[in-house]
Structures are given as structure tokens and as C-alpha cells.
Structure 1
Amino acid sequence: MERTEPPGHYDIPPPPPVPPQAARGIDLRVDKRLLWVDGAAYPLRNITRVYTFTLTPRRKDAALLFLKRLGIILSVAFALTILGGVTGLASQDMAGTIITLVWLGSAAAIVFSVVELVSVLGAPTQYVLAVETSGPSIAMVTSPQPQYLDQLVGTIVHAIEHPDTQFQVRVDRLLVNPRNYYFGDNVNMYGGTGNVGVASA
């Protein structure tokens, strides 16, 4: 005799256990057909994709940009130095002042470029969980334990398929400068300046 489950009964996979590092994170929960990521709500029916991926810094792009900037800065500095030397023959003091200002400005621009380069080279690779909607919104969270996010994908997918599901877990807020990372597919990111926590339309 075959055993049947009562109508409406689902074998609900439990959410993965919360890793200790996420204790100071944000809440990710499903309640009343809404996915809440901290204070942002996403209707489950509007979610088109849930997946994990590795967020990689743009190290190669940053190095090429630094070399390009360095070439431009030094070219301009040498050109202005030569021009100042040629046109300032009548007044050595004026030429010396102009050349000093040119090289001080060049040094400041090089320092700024080095700081930007180091910020990208020092940015860590992040393993993230992303939730995309049918609109331009995307929410991303992270955790120091990749398998935790992988399990969470299954839990969210189950909640999409079974809208009566409810659960709550803790995850870490993703705090990165979006200009420093490759995001894989082209996505539109909204909310925040510089750092991205929860992205919502």
C-alpha cells in the first residue's frame, strides 16, 4: 500500500545552520510570500534567479589604468617642464616656480593613483549569494562559509516553489566598492554610495 501525504504538506528543507561569523550580520527571511534582505522586501513571484558566484576584484584593469595614468601624468609633467624652461629663459625664478608646481601636482596625482591601485589589489575575493528580480534590482549577501550560501540557494528556491514557506537566517552584509569588482553578468545596482549592502529599486 502506497503512503500518501495530506494535500498541502511539503517536505520543507530546513535552512542551513547559522555560522558563528554571521552573528553581527543581517536578517534574510521569507515571510508571507516576501523575501526580506535586511530592510528590503522582494516578492517571491518577482524573483527570477538565485545563485552563488565568486566576486573577483578588477586587479588587471586597475593595473592597466594605473600604468595609463602614470604615462599621462609623466608626459604632461615633462612637457610642461620643457615648455617652462624654454619660455622662462627671461625669468629663472618664474620658470623654477612653475616647474616646482608642475611636479608637486604630478606627485599628488601619482599618489592618488597608487592609493586607488592598492585599494583594488588589496580587495578580497568574495563568495556571494545573489537574488535577481524581474526588474532592475539585485540583492547580494555574503558569508565566510561558501557551503552555507550554497545551501541557502536551495532553501530560497524551495520557498519560491512553495510560497507558504517561512524561515529566517543570518548572513553577512556585502560591503564592496562596485567599481573594484567584476560582477559577471551585467547588472544594475541601486542604493548606497561607494559601498553596496542591499540593492533595491
Structure 2
Amino acid sequence: MDRTEPPGHHDIPPPPAVPPRSVTAVDLRVGKRLLWVDGAAYPLENVTRVYTYTLTPRRKEATLLFLKRVGIILSVAFALTILGGITGIASESTAGTIITFVWLGTLAALVFSVVELVAVLTAPTQYVLAVETSGPSIAMVTSAEPRQLDQLVGSIVNAIENPEVEFQVTVDRLMVNPRNYYFGDNVNMYGGTGNVGVSNA
């Protein structure tokens, strides 16, 4: 006996699961002559340059700053130790307390300097898309796929030239400490790390 299936019944596989958005994911979209980078809007007619480049950490400067700090910290510590020894001859317990305090402060300063150096030396190189406007603002985003950023340059330029063009893509928020990187021009990122907005200093 043949079993017939009810009309309209098909073995349709379920739609693929939508991959979860990463914490750093932001939408970059063009619509109605505006370029939106997450919640920030940039009029396309104000965009003066769109380009990609490699953002590199300031490793050389960080190393030189570390060596300079170590020299200053140790010089001050030795000077205060000698001064404490000379002035504390009458009271050895007072001199010992001062010297202990000086070297505890020195150790704390050295640890802070090492932490700052390691933060820069271990910072990754970032490939970014930058959008400059005729005003002081710059939008920067990154992506795990460098080719996506290169293609976005063409898409944004096409949208500038063709008012009817609209599109939307997902990119990543630039999560860096601006003090640790070369930005070309002197720039300050709004709100420190984790933001896409950047302004010329």
C-alpha cells in the first residue's frame, strides 16, 4: 500500500544557523548618502579619502622610553639612598625606614614601566580601513580578512560616485590604545580603546 504525503509537505532542511556576532563586530553601511560606522554617520560628500594601511605599534619608542625611565628611576633611588644614609647617621632606624620606602617605590615604578613596555611590544599589527572627512574626524575599522577591507575601499568610492548605491557589511571595531601605535598624523581616538572614531589632534 502506497503512502502518500500530504500536499505541500517536503523534507526541507532547516536554515543554517546565523554565526554569532563577535564582541568587536560593527556594521559599516551606506544609505541615503551617509556612511554609517556603527552609530557614527559621515556624509559621503564630506569624505575626502578612503584607504587601507598597516597600523604598527611604537615598539622602538616604547623601548627607548623604558630605558630612559629605568635610568631616571635608578638614579633617583641611588641618590635618595645615599642622601638617606648621610642624613641618618645619627639615627640608623630612621635611615633604614627611608631607604626601605625608597626601594619599595623604585620597585613599583619599575614594575609599572615593564608592564607598559610589554603592552606595546606584544600589541599586534593591525590592518585597518580609514575614512577621512573634510572635517577633523577619521573613522577606522579592521577585519580578520584584509581583502574585505581592500574591497570596501572600492565599494565606498563607488557609493560616493553613484548616489543610488547602498550596501552593508560587518567589520570589526578597532580595539587599540592609540598611544601605542603610529597613526601617521597625530590622532586621538575618542574614548580611548575600543572606539572607531578618531580625530586629528
TM range (shorter): 0.7 to 0.9
Report the TM-score when normalising by structure 1: 0.86
Find the counterpart in structure 1 of residue 196 from structure 2.
Answer: 198
Q: Which runs of 5+ in 1 are unaligned?
A: 1-19
CA offsets 1:128-158 (integer angstroms, 9 cap, x no match):
0000000000000000111110011000000
Any idea what SS the aligned residue of 1:141 has?
Answer: strand
Q: CA deviation at 1:21?
A: 9.0
Separation (CA, whole Å) in 1 of partners of 2:120 and 2:198: 25
Residue in structure 1 matched with residue 73 of structure 2 by the alignment: 73
Question: 1:148 is matched with which residue?
Answer: 148
Q: Does the 8 Å CA contact 1:48/1:133 hold for their aligned counterparts? A: yes
Residue 177 in 1 paired to residue 159 in 2?
no
CA distance in 1, matches of 2:20, 2:59: 28
Q: C-alpha deviations, 1:152-175, integer Å up to 9, x for none?
A: 100000001112210000001101
State TM-score, norm by structure 2: 0.86
CA distance in 1, matches of 2:181, 2:163: 34
Percent of aligned positions with the same letter in both sequences?
Answer: 73
Ranges in structure 2 where 5+ consecutive residues have no aligned partner:
1-17
Q: Contact 2:189–2:195 (CA<8 Å) still a contact in 1? A: no
Q: Secondary structure at the match of 2:53?
A: strand
Q: 1:44 touches 1:160 (CA, 8 Å); kept in 2?
A: yes
The answer to whether the aligner puts 1:91 opposite 2:91 as a matched pair is yes
CA distance in 2, matches of 1:45, 1:187: 24
Whole-angstrom CA distance in 1 between matches of 2:20 and 2:50: 20
- Supply the distance in 1 between the matched residues of 2:112 and 2:135 (Cα, whole angstroms): 37
Cα deviation for residue 189 of structure 1 reads 3.3
| Structure number with bigger Rg | 2
Q: Confirm or deny that 1:189 pairs with 2:195.
A: no
Total equivalences in the alignment? 180
Residues 58-90 of structure 1, C-alpha deviations (whole Å, 9 max, x = no match): 000000000000000000000000001011100
How is 1:38-49 mapped onto 2 (pairs within 5 angstroms)?
Answer: 38-49=38-49
